[in-house]
Amino acid sequence: MNLKSQLQKSINGDVSWDDEILDIYSVDSSLYQIRPRLVVFPKNSSDIVKILRIAKKHKISVTPRGGATGLVGSALNDGIILDMKNFDKIKVASDFVYVEPGVRKGQLDKALNRHKKFLGPNPSVGPYCTIGGMIATNASGSRSLKYGSIIDNLLEVTIITGAGKIVTLPSRTQLANSVLRIAKSIDKTKFPRVSKNSCGYRLDAISGNTTQKIIAASEGTLGVIVSAKLRIFRIPPRRVLLVLGYDSIKNAAGDSSSLVKLGPSALELVDKNTMKNFKNKFPKKTNCLLFVEFDSDIRANIARIKKISAGKILYTLGNAKSAERWWAYRNSALHFSLKNLLAGQLSQHIIEDATVPVEKLRDLVAIAQNLGKSFGAKLVMYGHAGNGNIHVRVALPKNDNNIIDRLAGEFFSQVICLGGTITGEHGDGLARTKFVRMQYGQKTYCEFEKLKREFDPNFILNPNKIVAYDRKPNKPAKIFPI
């Protein structure tokens, strides 16, 4: 019996191989394109177990997919794509929520808001990304500065491994013991000294009762997520957003290490190329903005900012609707960067997520600017200044893969020297997997390979992501106009 017929006969969910569907699932929000063989819509865990067993028999890969908002091709592969949209249950408790991977963050926000609660990580694509995708990439966002990334809020997770076994972590299972054993073998000094990191497997975060954290940032390579228990927080009674203007992005970056000591709930940066899309007028020499949000000790912190900041407070927004308008500007930074850079020159999203210790943020900006000059590239920079995480969008005069790899290699080597990571929140995917060994060194990389074999002995789960990079990714997809 062929693959299609066997899947159709064995599962309750739908199986599709229509050309139109395959074309849709051949792309995500990255600039890569890989056409899958089949797209499957499982309805329950039993379906997934059967799909994985059939995939093993036919020696074909299986890649889970959520909202397709990823920027580095994490959800693309040429085998079976699992669309997890049918896994959409939410159950809210007092300080945590049980949620399935197909739930969109926007849906969860509405459900939590009715209980006056919120989830800490808040990616700018929040209305569209799914919880499964957020766990898979260890998503963060602006308020992760105070409330943590997914890895800090993941209390429990149930997955189906590549061997077709349903496992809940943390637990005292053989698999959990293997995770603990491998975690003890790593050299923790090889892991970046940053507040958030989505590169490789997060073995540095594992201790006796936190084995569930290994699934954060694992990009569907260790197991298919079927449910998770996530910490939630009470919505603070008041938030105030300050918009600070600076004469240069370097000065704004330099100020960030002082401002973060005040305990803001968010500290975000946008450059002049992003600012010019805002429907506001700024003082003539304003070339960069910092968004600083406080949800506690507000009056005292505003007074402190006036004393320590080199920037000028342009707006103080205590009204929720006014603040939301400004956050909408910030959350549209990716759209603005694509709009401002010529589509034909825009390079793959490779160096767009580096993160360094916040006191080294000014150095990171300088590195990006210097490389931009060396390669004749146009740059747009914005991001999570409080976490030392800057998104750098690059447009090169010649979109040549060799040039892009050379630029990325030089950039990443300097980021690593600063104690940073090549990706703070977006993951490795097709774009950065080949640089994971550079980040961690051969010994730690070998531990990653051991971990992969424990969860996925047949290497069918989202291969060639994080480890086992044994072929070149497909050519970049056409850049669609926005």
pLDDT digits (tens, 9 = 90+) for 176-212: 999 999 999 999 999 999 999 999 999 999 998 999 9
**Distance between CA atoms of residues 220 and 65, nearest Å:** 9
CATH fold for the domain made of 90-234: 3.30.465
Closest Cα partner for 313 from 384, 383, 375, 241?
Answer: 241
Q: What length does the chain have? A: 482
Task: Give the start-end residues of each E strand in 27-133.
Answer: 38-41, 62-65, 80-83, 90-92, 96-99, 117-118
Residue extents of the structural domains in the chain: 3-83, 90-234, 240-324, 340-451
Q: Do domains 3-83 and 240-324 have the same CATH topology?
A: no
Select from 351, 413, 361 the least CA-distant residue to 384.
361
Report the alpha-carbon angle 185-186-189, nearest 5: 145
- Average pLDDT over every residue of 431-439: 96
Strands 240-246 and 288-294: antiparallel
For residue 26, give Cα distances in angstroms to 78, 120, 346: 8, 31, 20
Say whether pLDDT at 346 is over 70.
no
Which residues are CB-contacts of 217 (< 8 A; sequence separation ≥ 6)?
136, 137, 138, 151, 197, 198, 199, 200, 201, 202, 427
Residue 413 has pLDDT above 60, yes or no: yes
- Measure the CA–CA gap between 345 and 288, rounded to whole angstroms: 24
| Pairing assessment for the beta strands 154-161 and 223-231 based on DSSP bridges | antiparallel
Looking at domain 240-324, does it have CATH number 2.60.200.20? no
Q: Which residue has the higher pLDDT, 85 or 208?
A: 85
347 — pLDDT class (breaks 50, 70, 90):
confident
Cβ–Cβ < 8 Å for 422, 293? no
The predicted pLDDT at position 452 comes to: 98
Compute the average pLDDT of residues 114-121.
98
CATH fold, domain 340-451, is Alpha-Beta Plaits (3.30.70)
What's the confidence (pLDDT) of residue 342? 54
pLDDT of 476 higher than 60: no
The percentage of residues in the chain with a pLDDT greater than 90, rounded to a whole number, is 86
pLDDT of 341 = 66
Q: Are 249 and 285 in contact (CB under 8 A)?
A: no
Q: Is the pTM of this model over 0.85?
A: yes
Tell me yes or no: is domain 3-83 CATH 3.60.20.10.
Answer: no
Examine the pLDDT at 159 and tell me if it is beyond 70. yes
